[in-house]
Amino acid sequence: MPYSVNGIQSAAGFTLLEVLIAIGITAMIGLGSWQILNSAIRTSEHTQVKLEELKALQKTMLIISRDLQQIVSRSVRDEYGDYQPAVQTKGSLYKFELSRAGWRNPLGDPRSNIQRVAYELNQDELVRHYWNVLDRSQDSESVYRTLLKGVEEFSIRFMKDDYSWASEWPSSAETDEEDDGDPRSKDNQLPRAVKITFKLKQFGTVSRLYDLVSYLPNKMLEEDPAGGSNGEGK
């Protein structure tokens, strides 16, 4: 608004110093706002990555839980026609092998509802394999998928009949005790429980103990006095 000094009209306005100060304050506010926004974006991205990693871990544990909860004492034949135990860690190309029931068949394919599953630690990736047949031929190939990444270690322990623990299965003590002349009886022996332990880059050491509800001593699989069989359905 114009004003008069000694009769001379003059226009009011900002000096150059005031303009520079205003620009500096605006720039500082903008820089601070950008830093806050950038920090929020980075935090959101980091949180999303961790959530995806946690989701993958939870999904992996769920899949393992389903496999172990439906484990069955069914040995298989490998590509060379040799019997392989229902649960196996020794003498296998994989970290852990098992036979499990409950394999859904919505399309009615001509296959068993029992599935052979194996877990492999490939560098830092946990890979799950399964076969479309139980007794494999030399051209049988597994179907596999990567369940979890960033796995530094993957260990398994098995509870024996006497409640002690073994790092491999079948354990030598179990096979010696259960050798009754049938080569498959010792192969069908199941542990009482299985403990799975992961050492992960993201979450450190994660362990879980699975109580095998399908556990049955081999003597329960023998024929009953009436001539039936408790171990296998007709």
* Positions in the chain short of pLDDT 70: 1-12, 173-187, 214-234
Domain containing residue 63? 50-221
Domain membership of residue 12 (yes or no) is no
pLDDT at 233: 39
Rounded distance between C-alpha atoms, residue 165 and residue 158, angstroms: 5
> Which CATH number does the domain housing residue 207 bear?
3.10.610.10
Q: What is the pLDDT of residues 124-174, one digit of tens each?
A: 999 999 999 999 888 889 999 999 999 999 999 999 989 999 999 987 755
In a domain, 34, yes or no: no
Does any domain span residue 185?
yes
Residues 96, 156: contact at Cβ < 8 Å?
Answer: yes
Q: Is residue 227 part of a domain?
A: no
7: left (phi over 0), alpha (psi -120 to 50) or beta: left
Residue 21, in any domain of the structure? no
Instruction: Tell whether pTM > 0.75.
Output: no
Q: Does a structural domain hold residue 5?
A: no
Residue 186 lies in a domain: yes
- The count of structural domains within the chain is 1
- Dihedral, CA of residue 171, residue 194, residue 142 and residue 93, to nearest 10: -40
